[in-house]
Structure 1
């Protein structure tokens, strides 16, 4: 059965996007060999993204690397939104309910991961008890402002435990 994973690259101060969703900072930190990222890509069976992430800034826009995982992901994509486009792309499913979106993405993923893209969807999955794992990659940069990898005003403690045998920033969510 599919597991739901939130993976992202963050600045060392915890931002996955700059102010206004700017992702241009990430282009300086892409590329190179990363066995964990390659293994992850090979194990993603579906992507679940928020509408802001889906239609947002792509540091590779207009290049062969545009899209999820630097354009290397080719598979089912589900977008959680209450405002689907009038003419949706043929290869994207727009869903208005979190539980339905996760269920459809898990079915499409089979025994592989549903990879969450976007902090808001990840937060919703945490609050609903639907997130299984978190994998963070860190880029050597400080952004100082933007979209945090997890933001819950007033604070929320989410307990994570390292996954045995995995990279140091791959965790199981403990509810």
Structure 2
């Protein structure tokens, strides 16, 4: 049975098999967690991302972790919030599904997720957390390969939301 937890931390410092990057469509780095992951991983990450041809919203792609403690980075592009009438919820759930599929294919046992789409993409934080937790539980309900999922929160509000959802 997979263990789910939430922490307030810097995702780039975690010693897990894979961290998930809330990336933009180019995969070439950006602000927030995306920029932090690219800076911490080093220039090799950008070089590998340049070979991937970008990524569609709701999809995910896998790279090496380079200078990060994590062996892999799973890049996923979350939806920009446009009021909830543009398939945003399904696209966000797809980010978690696709990321977990890649993690399984890579033989990963521990994965750390940031709060996807809740920064500059303005997805409502509580709704995003509900989608994250329910999707991960659904995908991993009959799975014994992945042992630990950590939801990594930047702010204390996000952290408190995840703690409540995981109780």
TM-score by length of 2: 0.40
Larger radius of gyration: 1
TM-score by length of 1: 0.39
Bigger fraction of residues in helix: 2
The structure where strand makes up a greater share of residues is 1
User: Greater relative contact order: 1 or 2 (C-alpha under 8 angstroms, separation 6 or more)?
Assistant: 1
